[in-house]
Structure 1
Amino acid sequence: MPNVPPAATANPPPRSLGGVSGQRVQPWRDPSAKPMIQIQEVRKTFGDFVAVDGVSVDIFPGELFALLGGSGCGKTTLLRMLAGFEIPTEGRILIDGQDMSTVPPYARPVNMMFQSYALFPHMSVEQNVGFGLRMDGVSKADTANRVAEALDLVQMGSFAKRRPHQLSGGQRQRVALARSLIKRPKVLLLDEPLGALDKKLREQTQLELLNIQSKVGITFVIVTHDQEEAMTLADRISVMDRGRIQQLGTPAEIYEFPKNRFVANFIGSVNLFEATLAVDEPDRAELDCPDFGGRIHVGHGVTGTIGMEFSVAVRPEKIRMSRKPLVDLPNQMQGTIKQIVYLGDISIYFIEVGGGKQVRVTQPNLDRWAEGEFTWEDRVHIGWAADGGVVLAQ
């Protein structure tokens, strides 16, 4: 049988409006749920170049959905088609049941927040936030009330009179978010919204963005190349490469059960062992692996034929390391520590095993001087459980 994540519950608990601590709903598992966005066999070409190649996906109301991939994978082109800045060469995009084929960008129930924030430098914070309402002819009183409400939502009420150049990068990002939300769109599109922030501020802002999205209940579609950002923010992630969706799922599904080598490599760190199938039973499998120096044991059956080539993907944190043999683990080998990277909370060990292959192992630093337990050129035993790896056919 294939290595797949366990089935979700039929009736998931409701999503809390309290932010990241709340339980997320999973409407994509409910056959009766109505999508907010329907992308149907969308293809976009620029001359001979295929930017988006037959993408189909449903995105649901209140979902925070991430388009994740490297440069040129098609994620930004897909976002621009949602916004109406690009027209699909083939296929359809529906938002709240309406075909967007003939709907111009300004008439779509969406708003877009750009990485550059695009704030007007000659306007104050409150003028920037209220600009769209003024263009729509909303009264001064209503505009003032909604601007105050939007600024309070992003905790920028005390900065209303300042100009953009008087704000930090994180504050400008909040102003841009308030301006994007003030017209109450059904869908907010975010193009690398946190890319200009430093690492610590970006992590803080990610949590704030989650809380804001939970409070307003608007569907968010975010484009990012940052896997950690996608894992932190998204209910579901669409991993893209060369214009196609390589895998669609929750962060846990994509990380723990990658569908192919590309996803396994792109999301997090992974060790890949090339192997051939030797034994395949309903509840176990064995694969011959020269780099491993023997057979890799897997705690489930594999969809394939004897002699078929596979890759076994093992995350670094799934591997245990010891000076003594790991007799309780079915998969183990010996190696020599060739490199150590100390990151504070964890240390990364690069261990050379038979044939010169290097295996990456991460260990939490539970003790203050944990980095002294192992050192360069130490001979160690490493191993993982039968369910610690994922067998990939692609």
Structure 2
Amino acid sequence: MLVSQGANQQEAQAGVQSSQPWNDPDAVPFIRFEKVTKKFGEFYAVDDVSLDIYRHELFALLGGSGCGKTTLLRMLAGFEEPSAGKIFIDGVDMAGVPPYERPTNMMFQSYALFPHMSVETNVAFGLHQDGYSKSEIKDRVADMLALVQMSKFAKRKPHQLSGGQRQRVALARSLVKQPKVLLLDEPLGALDKKLREQTQFELVNIQEKLGTTFVMVTHDQEEAMTMASRIAVMNDGVIKQIGTPFELYEYPNSRFTANFLGQVNLVEGTLIDDDEKYAIIRSDDIGGDIYIDHAVQGHEGTTLWVALRPERLRLCTEKPDDSGHNCFAGKVEEIGYLGGLSTYHVRLESGMRIKVSEPNTHRHNEPRYTWEDKVWVTWETGSASVLNQ
């Protein structure tokens, strides 16, 4: 549970209330999971999950292996039946509705293209099965290949395409039947990093053009944050938190969510002062007091965790003159140079190791800091999230 969110989140939520249906109490969910549970023997793959997804959303189920995200997707597709609970799509209860009668289509990680068919016949396959006329099939396939920029490859076979091109063909085949919901199971997992990053934006653009509701499963936090309007973070069959990428990153409700999305330093401490305008958390881990610029609404003596993102921390070789709060001495132990970014692992005098990231905004002959440099780690009083679980 989040102990303190601060005024910034309330202002941000107020600003987007009108444009985001999940903030509108009168909005009707397009997809609804009501207390859905799925058991395999005595194992709970999904445990009492309730979730609303709205029309035209690109929604991501994010989590590690075995967290239940794929099982949830398969139940939505009709490949698995819930052990308990209900699933609704566009107001219709999906209980007992087979996959081929649901207004959904699924795009698998393997793409599952027919190797003996050309690109255009792969895309047209489902339309032939459903008995569409030749003229309509021809028009729909042509429109879809144009949308995914694969028209000039229409006669090629899958083995003559790159991984990114096969991914586009699979997407076209999934969308050509105009499903109300497209389900994507690790859709970009087979692509290399650069192509994956490029394709993320292409998928978002296609989704925005068509207005189809996308529900995506992924273990890749960057992929989810780049593409999704909202994300559900899952672990052990339950949803830990639902929110926009901004909300989850800036205002995690637990150490699990803070640690799963991005990099974070988690510092344990005890609340010793909680005023209306500030709070002080004493930490043996970090070797001193951490000052927070707002109340955390907790009881003094409560154990809390301070979440510090590496990019919010700053390094300097001299103790700042204005270092009244949140300033700790240490020594650089490890350095990671990533071109646009450098990451420093600093061993504080308390013995805690803390990670600091700095953008390389200028070209230097040498790194700003090197191994064994004595440094000061500082951060602003409003940079931290305070968690109680």
- Scaled to the shorter chain, the TM-score interval is over 0.9
> Aligned-pair distance for 1:325?
1.5
Q: 2:313 aligns with which of 311, 319, 338?
A: 319
> Aligned-pair distance for 1:305?
1.1
Q: Does 2:190 align with 1:235?
A: no
> Aligned-pair distance for 1:212?
0.3
The letter of the residue matching 1:2 is S
**Alignment deviations for residues 231-251 of structure 1 (CA, whole Å, 9 cap, x no partner):** 000000000000001010000
Please give the residue correspondences for 1:240-255 in structure 2 after superposition, counting only pairs within 5 Å: 240-255=234-249
**Alignment deviations for residues 17-47 of structure 1 (CA, whole Å, 9 cap, x no partner):** xxxxxxxx41111122121101111000000
Give the structure 1 partner of residue 329 of structure 2: 334
* Inter-CA distance 371–99: structure 2 relative to 1 (3 Å threshold): farther
Q: 1:6 aligns with which of 10, 21, 38?
A: 10
The answer to whether the Cα contact below 8 Å between 1:291 and 1:353 also exists between their aligned partners in 2 is no
Give the structure 2 partner of residue 51 of structure 1: 45
TM-score, length basis structure 1 = 0.95
Q: Does 2:355 align with 1:352?
A: no
Quote the Cα distance in structure 2 between the aligned partners of 1:110 and 1:9.
33
> Aligned-pair distance for 1:290?
1.1
> Aligned-pair distance for 1:375?
0.6
> Aligned-pair distance for 1:2?
2.7
Quote the Cα distance in structure 2 between the aligned partners of 1:173 and 1:308.
51
Give the structure 2 partner of residue 209 of structure 1: 203
> Aligned-pair distance for 1:291?
2.3
Q: How many equivalent pairs are there?
A: 383
The answer to whether the Cα contact below 8 Å between 1:342 and 1:371 also exists between their aligned partners in 2 is no
| Structure 1 gap ranges (5+) | 14-24
Quote the Cα distance in structure 2 between the aligned partners of 1:266 and 1:292.
22
The letter of the residue matching 2:145 is L
> Aligned-pair distance for 1:74?
0.2
Q: Does 2:276 align with 1:282?
A: yes
* Inter-CA distance 318–370: structure 2 relative to 1 (3 Å threshold): farther
Q: 1:167 aligns with which of 140, 161, 173?
A: 161
Quote the Cα distance in structure 2 between the aligned partners of 1:344 and 1:360.
17
Give the structure 2 partner of residue 93 of structure 1: 87
**Alignment deviations for residues 27-84 of structure 1 (CA, whole Å, 9 cap, x no partner):** 1111221211011110000001000011111100000000000000000000000000
The answer to whether the Cα contact below 8 Å between 1:156 and 1:171 also exists between their aligned partners in 2 is yes
Calculate the aligned-residue CA RMSD, in Å.
1.2
Give the structure 1 partner of residue 146 of structure 2: 152
Q: Does 2:264 align with 1:270?
A: yes
* Inter-CA distance 30–370: structure 2 relative to 1 (3 Å threshold): farther
> Aligned-pair distance for 1:354?
2.0
> Aligned-pair distance for 1:209?
0.4
The letter of the residue matching 1:247 is Q
Quote the Cα distance in structure 1 between the aligned partners of 2:322 and 2:251.
24
The answer to whether the Cα contact below 8 Å between 1:36 and 1:58 also exists between their aligned partners in 2 is yes
The answer to whether the Cα contact below 8 Å between 1:291 and 1:354 also exists between their aligned partners in 2 is no
Quote the Cα distance in structure 1 between the aligned partners of 2:366 and 2:259.
27
Q: 1:386 aligns with which of 377, 381, 385?
A: 381
The answer to whether the Cα contact below 8 Å between 1:365 and 1:371 also exists between their aligned partners in 2 is no
| Structure 2 gap ranges (5+) | none
TM-score, length basis structure 2 = 0.96
Quote the Cα distance in structure 1 between the aligned partners of 2:10 and 2:374.
38
The letter of the residue matching 1:78 is L
Quote the Cα distance in structure 1 between the aligned partners of 2:142 and 2:322.
61
> Aligned-pair distance for 1:220?
0.3
> Aligned-pair distance for 1:292?
2.1
Give the structure 2 partner of residue 343 of structure 1: 338
The letter of the residue matching 1:3 is Q
> Aligned-pair distance for 1:328?
3.5
Q: 1:258 aligns with which of 247, 252, 269?
A: 252
The answer to whether the Cα contact below 8 Å between 2:4 and 2:387 also exists between their aligned partners in 1 is no
Q: 1:366 aligns with which of 361, 365, 369?
A: 361
3-state SS, counterpart of residue 6 of structure 1: helix
Please give the residue correspondences for 1:56-205 in structure 2 after superposition, counting only pairs within 5 Å: 56-205=50-199
Quote the Cα distance in structure 2 between the aligned partners of 1:30 and 1:183.
31
* Inter-CA distance 371–154: structure 2 relative to 1 (3 Å threshold): farther
Runs of 4+ in 1 over 6 A off after TM superposition: none
**Alignment deviations for residues 347-391 of structure 1 (CA, whole Å, 9 cap, x no partner):** 000000023211100000011127522111000111111111111
Percent same amino acid at aligned positions? 58
Quote the Cα distance in structure 1 between the aligned partners of 2:249 and 2:336.
22
The answer to whether the Cα contact below 8 Å between 1:114 and 1:193 also exists between their aligned partners in 2 is yes
